[in-house]
Amino acid sequence: MSTDYDPIAEQYQRAKQQPWRTHVESFTLMDLIGDPRGLSVIDLACGEGFYTRRLRQGGAQRAVGVDLSARMIELAREQEQRQQLGIEYRVADARSLDHADQADLVVAAYLLNYARNVAELQAMCDSIARCLRPGGRFVTVNTSPRLHFPSAPSYHKYGFETRAATPWQEAAAIQWIFHLSGGAIEVENYHHNVASHETCLQRAGFQSLRWVSPRISPEAVEREAEGYWQDFLNHPPVIFLECLKAG
Ligand SMILES: C[S@@+](CC[C@H](N)C(=O)[O-])C[C@H]1O[C@@H](n2cnc3c(N)ncnc32)[C@H](O)[C@@H]1O
């Protein structure tokens, strides 16, 4: 079980090809982000640059990707070499980013759920606030704090499963098992309830918090049998959030 992405970087990259990533995760996240044209963007926990590239290709004037995993950043840089988009990638820990920036937008797909306790969650939110200009926006997707994972249904038909530690409490571990053609990979992240998220973000200087449930792309609704997405929608394992840094 790992929170270290170095040994599973390539497999995780393949896990991004599962249909729910495109038709639920990306569909909802990119819609929530809106038009990035002309914006200065930082993608925290960028992994191999999945969203960093999309933001730059969508017209972000500047895009920086930051990740703790050297191997993930290596994969991102390899893709940058093949297709030069002018993205800068850095290895750094989002719990202790010391650089202040004036970005218009910070995106973080699955960062906050790696905080092992509330102090780390606070440290991440403080780092994010330091990256943004006053009035700048933070958009994120994470393991959902609203779902009671110990009683979640099986998500096997979507290509993954979850397991959760009991008692269900702050910082309880959640295992995600992604079924891929070459075998399964497992990663572990941590539960933080809604109040912990909101308190840490507000303490870091964020306001206008808005939680957004996942949506399914019309194409995927059309393609699958009726009711196929119902387990995902009735018990969403991920949730989206946007907020603004106070001006
Ligand atoms: C589930 S992956 C998501 C990668 C990418 N955002 C995506 O959606 O494809 C989570 C990423 O968070 C990174 N990560 C975990 N803790 C971090 C931290 N403290 N600072 C920066 N990155 C971190 C991991 O190395 C991993 O690449």
Q: What digits encode the pLDDT tens for the residues 154-193? A: 999 999 999 998 899 999 999 999 999 889 999 999 999 9
Q: Hey, where are the domains in the chain?
A: 6-144+193-227+236-245
DSSP the chain: -BS--GGGHHHHHHHTTSHHIIIIIIHHHHHHH---TT-EEEEET-TTTHHHHHHHHTT-SEEEEEES-HHHHHHHHHHHHHS----EEEE--TTS------EEEEEEES-GGG-SSHHHHHHHHHHHHHHEEEEEEEEEEEE-TTS-GGG----GGGTEEEEE-SS--TT-EEEEEEEETTEEEEEEEE---HHHHHHHHHHTTEEEEEEE-----HHHHHHSPTTTTHHHHHS-SEEEEEEEE--
Asked whether the predicted pLDDT for residue 122 surpasses 90, the reply is yes
What is the structure's pLDDT at 16?
A: 85
Q: Which atom of ligand 1 is nearest to the CA of 16?
A: 9
Phi, then psi, of 5 in degrees rounded to 5: -90, -5
Asked whether the predicted pLDDT for residue 1 surpasses 70, the reply is no
Asked whether the predicted pLDDT for residue 9 surpasses 90, the reply is no
Asked whether the predicted pLDDT for residue 151 surpasses 90, the reply is yes
What is the structure's pLDDT at 234?
A: 97
What is the structure's pLDDT at 214?
A: 98
What is the structure's pLDDT at 2?
A: 61
Asked whether the predicted pLDDT for residue 196 surpasses 80, the reply is yes
Torsion of the alpha carbons at 211, 217, 222 and 227, rounded to the nearest 10: -30
Residue 44 Cα to ligand 1 middle (Å): 7
Asked if 159 contacts 231 with a C-beta cutoff of 8 angstroms, the reply is no
Q: Which atom of ligand 1 is nearest to the CA of 109?
A: 6
The tokens 């009991």 sit on which residue? 166
Residue 115 beta carbon below 6 angstroms from any ligand 1 atom: no
- Percent pLDDT > 90 in the chain is 89
pLDDT (average), residues 64-89: 97
Asked whether the predicted pLDDT for residue 86 surpasses 70, the reply is yes
What is the structure's pLDDT at 7?
A: 85
Please tell me the class of the 6-144+193-227+236-245 domain.
alpha beta
pLDDT band at 147 (very low <50, low <70, confident <90, very high): very high
pLDDT (average), residues 20-33: 98
> Which residue from 11, 48, 72, 192 has its CB within 8 A of the most atoms of ligand 1, so it is best to mutate?
72
- Rounded to whole angstroms, the Cα distance separating 28 from 26 reads 5
Task: Write down the mean pLDDT value for the chain.
Answer: 96
Residue 138 beta carbon below 6 angstroms from any ligand 1 atom: no
pLDDT band at 207 (very low <50, low <70, confident <90, very high): very high
**Of 25, 87, 96, 78, which Cα lies nearest the Cα of 58?**
87
Residue 45 beta carbon below 6 angstroms from any ligand 1 atom: yes
If one counts every other C-beta atom within 10 angstroms of the C-beta of residue 194, the result is 14
Global pTM?
0.97
pLDDT (average), residues 77-90: 98
Asked if 139 contacts 235 with a C-beta cutoff of 8 angstroms, the reply is no
- Rounded to whole angstroms, the Cα distance separating 48 from 15 reads 12
What is the structure's pLDDT at 4?
A: 85
